[in-house]
C-alpha cells in the first residue's frame, strides 16, 4: 500500500511532509508534490504533517480523487526528487480547500 498526494496540494504545495519522509519518496512538480508508490513504505509520517490535509492512504482517497493514485505514480517517474522543505507558494493559503483544482495542475 502507498500514500497518495491528492487534489488539495495543487497550488498549495507545502513541503512539510518531505522533511519527515524516511525514504525520500516525494517528487516535486511546478505546483504539486507526488509520492512514488514503489518507494513509499506506508509509514504514515507524512499524512499528519500536511497543512493542506492533502495526503491520504490509497484506500482512504476521497471519492472522486481516485485519479490521483495513477497521477502520483506517473509524475513520480518524470519529476525530480525533493528531500528538503521549501517555502510554500506565497498564495498557497488562498488556494487551500478550493475545489476543482485538477485543471490547474502544471506538469
What CATH number did the domain enclosing 68 receive?
Answer: 3.30.70.20
- Cell triple for 98: 478550493
Integer distance in angstroms from the first to the last C-alpha of the chain? 25
- State the total domains in the chain: 1
DSSP string, 44-68: -SSGGG-TT--EEEGGGPPTT-THH
3-class DSSP state of 82? coil
Domain annotation covers residue 91: no
pLDDT above 90 as % of the chain:
99
Domain annotation covers residue 77: yes
Task: In whole angstroms, give the CA distance from residue 61 to residue 93.
Answer: 22
Q: For position 92, what pLDDT does the model report?
A: 97
Q: For position 80, what pLDDT does the model report?
A: 98
Confidence of residue 54 (pLDDT cuts 50, 70, 90): very high
pTM for this predicted structure: 0.97
Q: For position 3, what pLDDT does the model report?
A: 98
Supply the range of the domain harboring residue 41. 3-85
Could you tell me whether strands 3-5 and 55-57 are parallel, antiparallel, or unpaired per DSSP bridges?
A: antiparallel
Mean of per-residue pLDDT scores for the chain: 97
Amino acid at each position: 500500500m502507498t500514500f497518495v498526494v491528492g487534489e488539495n496540494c495543487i497550488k498549495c504545495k507545502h513541503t512539510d511532509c518531505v522533511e519527515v519522509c524516511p525514504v525520500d519518496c516525494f517528487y516535486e512538480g511546478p505546483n504539486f508534490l507526488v509520492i512514488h508508490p514503489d518507494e513509499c513504505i506506508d509509514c504514515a509520517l507524512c499524512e499528519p504533517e500536511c497543512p493542506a490535509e492533502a495526503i491520504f492512504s490509497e484506500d482512504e482517497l476521497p471519492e472522486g480523487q481516485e485519479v490521483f493514485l495513477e497521477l502520483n505514480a506517473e509524475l513520480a517517474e518524470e519529476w525530480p526528487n525533493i528531500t528538503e522543505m521549501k517555502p510554500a507558494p506565497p498564495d498557497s493559503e488562498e488556494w487551500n480547500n478550493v475545489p476543482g483544482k485538477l485543471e490547474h495542475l502544471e506538469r
